[in-house]
Amino acid sequence: MALEFQVLASGSKGNAIYVASASTALLVDAGLSAKEIVRRMEGSGLRPQRLAAVLISHEHSDHIRGVGVLSRRFDLPVYLTQATLEGLPSQLGELAGAHIIQSGRAFSVGDLTVHPFALSHDAADPVGYIVEHNGCRLAVCTDCGTATQLVRSRLQGCHGLIVEANHDVDRLIHGPYAWHLKQRIRSRHGHLSNEECCDLLQHVHHRNLQVVIMAHLSEINNDPQLVRDTLQQRLHGEPWHHVRFLIAAQDQATPLCELIP
């Protein structure tokens, strides 16, 4: 096994992603209750006791809800930026250990190398992550208002991508949200649309790309079929035949995926 991963949950009600080598396992975000994270892991045959750390992307509740209890229960260090740490609500309680990270500075968790990179989102200091092992690279890039040049350069050459396809623009504009929320979602500090996600994928596609998971779908402003339709319209033909596409959901985990160097 080179690198395996599974989206345990994705959406505005909670996000958590499992990533592991043969000897080291970690979570990216813990936005469900600790009890639910454990339940979903065990339901997929994964052992929470294997976890070595939790990486936090930013301080919004759908990414940190269970991190306090999970950290204390399994004595897990939590990796996050200083601004994100300062933005955590007091009701989370103490963390078993807080490790301060910075965008652009790689660090190691066991035999996994983690590369944090800056994202454009309405949080204190949001980051995406690239997790690397034995030449395999998995990128986690959600809660991203615009695919900056930095984002595009970091995703280049990755074998697996977990990227945001938050909304369908037409459904958002004509939907029930208040206008200020629509503006926030469409802004440079909001979320990527289905079309913007496909634009990003077209830019970073390469022949060794193996798996793409479309994530953080809005339950109000998007639908899995709309994502599939956009993929079919925008990403078709021979260059994409070798890529496995999955759509992450809020209420259930994706299949466990493996990247091969």
Smallest CA-to-CA distance from 8 within 248, 214, 227 is with: 248
73-109 pLDDT, tens per residue?
A: 999 999 999 999 999 999 999 999 999 999 999 999 9
Could you give the domains of the chain?
A: 3-248 (3.60.15.10)
26-47 pLDDT, tens per residue?
A: 999 999 999 999 999 999 999 9
Average pLDDT of the segment spanning 13-28: 98
Interhelix angle 67-74/34-43, rounded to 10 degrees, is 70
Dihedral sign computed on CA atoms, order 8, 10, 16, 21: positive
Average pLDDT of the segment spanning 159-182: 97
143-166 pLDDT, tens per residue?
A: 999 999 999 999 999 999 999 999
Average pLDDT of the segment spanning 61-70: 98
Average pLDDT of the segment spanning 220-235: 97
The per-residue pLDDT for 178 is 97
Strand partners, 16: 9, 30
**Percentage of the chain surpassing pLDDT 90?**
98
The per-residue pLDDT for 75 is 98
Torsions phi, psi for 199 (to 5 deg) = -60, -45
pLDDT at 1 over 80: no
Average pLDDT of the segment spanning 63-69: 98
> Please, are residues 209 and 243 in contact by the beta-carbon 8 Å criterion?
yes
Indicate the pLDDT class of residue 236, thresholds 50, 70 and 90.
confident
DSSP single-letter state for residue 101:
-
The per-residue pLDDT for 223 is 97
> Please, are residues 124 and 83 in contact by the beta-carbon 8 Å criterion?
yes
Indicate the pLDDT class of residue 2, thresholds 50, 70 and 90.
confident
Strand partners, 161: 139, 212
113-128 pLDDT, tens per residue?
A: 999 999 999 999 999 9
pTM of the model: 0.97
The per-residue pLDDT for 261 is 85
